[in-house]
Amino acid sequence: MDTKIINLQLLDQSEVDTAYAEAAGIIREGGLVAFPTETVYGLGANALDEQAAAKIYAAKGRPSDNPLIAHISREQQLEEIAAYIPETARILMKHYWPGPLTMIFRKKDIVPRGTTGGLDTVAVRMPDHPVARRLIDAAGVPIAAPSANLSGRPSPTTAERTAEDMEGKIEMILDGGPCRIGIESTIVDMTEDIPVILRPGFITYEMLRELLGEVRKDRALDAKEWRYFRPKAPGQKYRHYAPKAPMTLVEGGIEAVTAKICDLTDASIREGKKVGVICTDETEACYHQGIVKSMGSRVRLESVAHNLYEILREFDETGVEVIYSEAFPSDELGFAVMNRLVKAAGHKEIQV
Ligand code: AMP
Ligand code: MG
């Protein structure tokens, strides 16, 4: 299949109108369009069309029991697909929609099980990216859209990275420039009496607790307990976000961490290996060997979230054979950043 890549930033007004009309037509006819959101690029299909959803799983190579998030642009669309919307959800909608927050509801029959991985719940998000919103409006249906990467790979945060994984497999990629946030939405299960965070994201546990009083973290998110619990978000059970080279996270006081990574790097280089080091602006000068990349500043974790996936993909291109990465404190946005890093490392962590 020929994938049409359309850079919206280079078009004039009437060409932009034509591009959205064409993209919306593809979605309505059951095809696939990748598009930018404020979190990462999404791989979109009509969420109400089981066969279209099946194409998403095929293009990504994703296990079909891993449900998809339905993206909407108006609140009315939530009423059409969710069977029950609790008051707590209305509070969250008021504060964080449109934005990087996904909520899980009991689904209505109109949503096929092919979209929800066989579950009778549906995950819903209203993105705030103008391209995503206009595409959903133009299509006139909720758009199911997982991250537009091959299953297991780091999520794409630019159209170029999306094309790397999806060119030849889907009808169209809309290029709207790099994503602002860089990691996926926070997922909260609203079907429980006390809302449960299934995936941490830019909207933090602390922010949700401040608004709702009570919020829980799914036990599968606890690094020490993840092995023993059947995860509620099926995505949690798969190896994820991973660079090609094996990666080890080093956790502890920052001086001990940099010293340990220097030792590990030294040892790997002596074994003849090409080494990658993932660090931060504050620690970059501590490393003198291997390919060293800073994700951003420790005091501005948004910068780390923004660059994380891009750096994992850059390391794939350098052909490093082993990666050592600094860890972060797991509160506030650090919870989401660490969730991705721990998975990228396949839970390989060293405490110092
Ligand atoms: P992605 O589409 O790559 O952002 O991943 C979507 C995540 O949302 C996956 O980890 C899914 O398991 C999770 N998800 C989507 N729908 C549901 C649902 N109904 N219940 C629980 N988790 C869900
Ligand atoms: Mg994903």
The DSSP call for residue 57 is H
| Residue 227: per-residue pLDDT | 47
Residue identifier of the C-alpha nearest atom 23 of ligand 1:
233
Beta bridge partners of 71: 125, 143
Is 24 exposed, middle or buried (CB count within 10 Å of its CB: 0-12, 13-18, 19+)? buried
Ligand 1: residue whose CA is nearest its atom 2: 146
Q: Are 325 and 265 in contact (CB under 8 A)?
A: no
**Per-residue pLDDT, 80:** 98
Each of the 352 residues of the chain gets a pLDDT tens digit; together they read 999 999 999 999 999 999 999 999 999 999 999 999 999 999 999 999 999 999 999 999 988 888 999 999 999 999 999 999 999 999 999 999 999 999 999 999 999 999 999 999 999 999 999 999 999 999 999 999 999 999 989 999 999 999 999 999 999 999 999 999 999 999 999 999 999 999 999 999 999 999 999 999 998 887 555 544 555 565 555 557 788 999 999 999 999 999 999 999 999 999 999 999 999 999 999 999 999 999 999 999 999 999 999 999 999 999 999 999 999 999 999 999 999 999 999 889 999 9
Model confidence pTM above 0.85:
yes
43 CA from centroid of ligand 2 (Å): 10
The helix/strand/coil state of 88 is: helix
Mutate to test the pocket of ligand 1, among 198, 221, 230, 339 (most ligand atoms within 8 A of CB): 198
Residue nearest to atom 7 of ligand 1 (CA): 235
What's the gap in Å between 156 CA and the centre of ligand 2? 9
Kindly give the distance from the C-alpha atom of residue 65 to the centroid of ligand 1, in angstroms, as a whole number.
10
Residue 39 CB neighbour total at 10 angstroms: 29
Which ligand has the minimum distance to the alpha carbon of residue 63?
Answer: 1
What DSSP element (H or E) covers 349? strand 349-351
CA 253 to ligand 1 center in whole angstroms: 34
- The predicted structure's pLDDT at residue 351: 96
Q: Which of 98, 96, 337 is nearest to 208 (CA)?
A: 96
Q: Within 10 A of 90 (CB to CB), how many other CB atoms are there?
A: 12
d(CA 65, CA 347): 22
Give 94 Cα–ligand 2 centroid separation in angstroms: 26
Residue to substitute in 39, 187, 236 for testing ligand 1 pocket (most ligand atoms within 8 angstroms of CB)? 187
For residue 311, report the distance from its CA to the centre of ligand 2, in Å: 16
Distance from the alpha carbon of residue 5 to the mean position of ligand 1, in angstroms: 27
Q: Among 199, 218, 309, name the best residue to mutate to test ligand 1's pocket (greatest count of ligand atoms within 8 A of Cβ).
A: 199
Give residue 337 CA to ligand 2 midpoint distance, Å: 14
The span from the CA of 228 to the CA of 132, in Å, is 37
Ligand 1 center to residue 215 CA distance, Å? 19
In the β-sheet with 172-175, what is the strand arrangement from edge to edge? Answer: 4-7, 172-175, 33-35, 42-46, 143-144, 69-71, 121-125, 101-106, 186-189, 196-199, 216-217
Q: Which residues line ligand 1 (CB under 6 A)?
A: 66-69, 104, 116, 119, 121-123, 146-147, 184, 187, 198, 232-235
Task: Provide the 10 A C-beta neighbour count for residue 294.
Answer: 20
Q: Provide the 3-class DSSP secondary structure of residue 266.
A: helix
Ligand 1 atom closest to the Cα of residue 102 is 8
Helical pair 301-318 and 333-344, crossing angle rounded to 10 deg: 20
Q: What are phi and psi of 169, to 5 degrees?
A: -110, -15
- Ligand with smallest separation from the Cα of 47: 1
Sequence-ordered list of residues with C-beta below 8 angstroms from that of 210, at least 6 positions apart, any chain: none
Mutate which of 32, 37, 38, 69 for ligand 1 pocket (most atoms within 8 A of beta carbon): 69
